[in-house]
Amino acid sequence: MSVVKEVDFSTHPTPSQPPVPMRIWIDDTGTPADVIDALALSPFATGEQPWSRTASLTRVRAGAPLAPEGGRLLRVAQHADGYETRLIAGEGWTLRVVRNANRSATLTATAVSEELAGSVLDQATRDAEEEAPESDHVRMGFWWRSSHGPHRSAKPITTSSWQEIRRNYPRAAVGRLNALMATTAADVAGRLVLLHGPPGTGKTTLLRTLAREWASWCQVDCVLDPELLFNDPGYLMDVAVGWDGPDEDAEPRWRLLVLEDCDELIRAEAKQSTGQGLSRLLNLTDGLLGQGRDVLVAITTNEDLSRLHPAVVRPGRCLAQIEVGRFDAAQAAEWLGLPEGAGPGGATLAELFALRDGRLAAAPEPPAGTGLYL
């Protein structure tokens, strides 16, 4: 039998704050964490604490208290798998803290004023998070558009240095890739980075490594829905010129916008198929919009260079235009550690990894499949 309890969180009327009722129903399927959620939301829902701020942490230190000084611990709900929820309160504020087994955490503060909510959250998160190791992580931004407008989220991603992965690319491309990886802000001439070649040749991995090699002067942001970006001027303006980073007083940095698999946008018939999309891309790379900000655009495509729109590949537009192709027979054998002539007659990087790991008996002839190494 289910036991239901009604809890009334209504506020008491004051001259400046009319009462706002809030009622929840708790039955035997509810958990202690659910009760904490309700208690944390009630001051905000009733209007007693009308300001709210939320922060997400990804690498919380084991001993981090995640609580402002002087707060009262009201409730704790712990699970055997490491999940924990806490409710902490102080004069005019309430803080809900959720810690996960993977060391991530979410903190939500409500308060009687915007300044107090921010102060509570700042105190609770100060020095609480470890920096991702420089050896294998870099922070990358991710843009997408929802029904509520454009959003950006920054996440640490695993990367390798160019020195570590250089052998994974055909010698025909390595010279140009060396130059691209060594580029600095002073070297920028042309706003477009174009990586083209068959699937499975490592183009996505190159972009992750580029984010690492350029980290000192360029912020890399990946646009998850490029098909929407160039069809919505408002979204494009937010992405191209609407974000300066968390510290507006810091020295401005270049930004690299990553658009993966944008074949429809840049192929020869793009003007007819995408409308204004191609024109806006070109305007971003060397038109008025692009000149207003230090923005670069990196595009990956599986299309052959001859099938791309001539305006995209015209001289002066591209900072780099690199074909990332298949390994020839000699380099494929060398990569696998086999005598010359003993390896496959040519392969993509994805196929070489599959051959090495025993997941592929022989490399197929082109066109290659999508592969496992992007």
Buried b / exposed e across 292-310, counting CB within 10 Å, b at 16+?
eebbbbbbbbbbeeeebbe
Backbone angles phi, psi at 372, to 5 degrees: -110, -10
Res. 13: pLDDT tops 50: no
Report d(CA 219, CA 169) in Å as an integer: 24
Residue type, 198: P
pLDDT at position 205 is 94
* Nearest of 36, 360, 308, 128 to residue 368 by alpha carbon: 360
Q: Lowest-pLDDT range, 126-135, 166-175, 260-269? A: 260-269
Q: Which residue has the higher pLDDT, 340 or 130?
A: 130
User: In total, how many domains does the chain have?
Assistant: 3
Looking at the fold, whether 13 and 94 belong to one and the same domain comes out as: yes
- The lowest-confidence range among 75-79, 99-103, 230-234, 358-362 is 358-362
Sheet holding 295-301, edge to edge: 149-158, 137-146, 218-223, 254-259, 295-301, 192-196, 318-323
Residues 63 and 108 in one domain: yes
The verdict on 207 and 195 lying in the same domain is yes
Shared domain check, 272 and 155: yes
How far apart, in whole angstroms, are the C-alpha atoms of residue 370 and residue 368?
A: 7
What's residue 277's pLDDT? 64
**Co-location of 158 and 119 in the same domain:** no
> Is 80 exceeded by the pLDDT of residue 275?
no
Which of left, alpha, beta for 341 (phi over 0: left; psi -120 to 50: alpha)?
left
Confidence class of residue 276 from pLDDT cuts 50, 70 and 90? low
More confident residue, 182 or 274: 182
Q: Dump pLDDT digits (tens) for 207-227.
A: 999 999 999 999 999 999 888
Contact in structure between 76 and 86 (CB atoms under 8 Å): yes
Q: Which helix (H) or strand (E) holds 355?
A: helix 349-356
Side-chain half-sphere CA neighbours of 48 within 13 A:
17
At 232, the pLDDT band (50, 70, 90 cuts) reads confident
Its domain, for residue 204, covers: 137-323
Residue 361 in any domain: the answer is yes
Q: Is residue 131 part of a domain?
A: no
Residues 288, 212 share a domain? yes
| Residue 197 within any structural domain of the chain | yes
- Among 147-151, 248-252, 256-260, the range with the most confident prediction by mean pLDDT is 256-260
Residue 347, in any domain of the structure: yes
Same domain, 31 and 62: yes
Q: What whole-number distance in Å separates Cα of residue 181 and Cα of residue 163?
A: 10
Classify the C-alpha dihedral 12-13-18-19 as positive or negative. positive
Question: CA–CA distance from 46 to each of 9, 52, 63, 84, 347 (Å)?
Answer: 7, 13, 34, 26, 64
Q: Which residue has the tokens 């409710």?
A: 87
What CATH number does residue 312 fall under?
3.40.50.300
The predicted model gives 249-263 an average pLDDT of 78
Whether 31 has a pLDDT exceeding 70, the answer reads yes
pLDDT at 340: 77
Going edge to edge, which strands form the sheet with 84-90? 51-57, 105-111, 93-99, 84-90, 72-78
Asked whether residue 130 is assigned to any structural domain, the reply reads no
Which residue among 125, 151, 174 closes a domain?
125
Report the CATH number that the domain containing residue 110 is assigned in CATH. Answer: 3.30.310
Q: Do both 56 and 193 map to the same domain?
A: no
Dihedral of the CA atoms 337, 341, 343, 347 (nearest 10)? 110
pLDDT in the model for residue 361: 64
Contact between 20 and 46 (Cβ < 8 Å) = yes
Domain boundary among 77, 101, 125: 125
Whether 132 is covered by a domain: the verdict is no
Task: Output the six-digit token pair for 374.
Answer: 């992007």
Q: Is the pLDDT of residue 294 over 90?
A: no
Claim to verify: residue 297 and residue 195 sit in the same structural domain? yes
Average pLDDT estimate for 272-286: 64
* 369 and 282 in a common domain: no
Q: What is the DSSP string of 157-209?
A: EE---HHHHGGGS-HHHHHHHHHHHT--GGG--SSEEEEE--TTSSHHHHHHH
Radius of gyration of the chain (CA): 26
Cβ atoms < 10 Å from Cβ of 78: 13
Determine contact, residues 54/95, Cβ cutoff 8 Å. Answer: no
Residues 10 and 111 in one domain: yes
**In this structure, are 339 and 360 located in the same domain?**
yes
The residue-averaged pLDDT of 246-261 equals 74
Q: Determine the 3-state secondary structure of 105 from DSSP.
A: strand
Q: What is the residue-averaged pLDDT of the chain?
A: 81
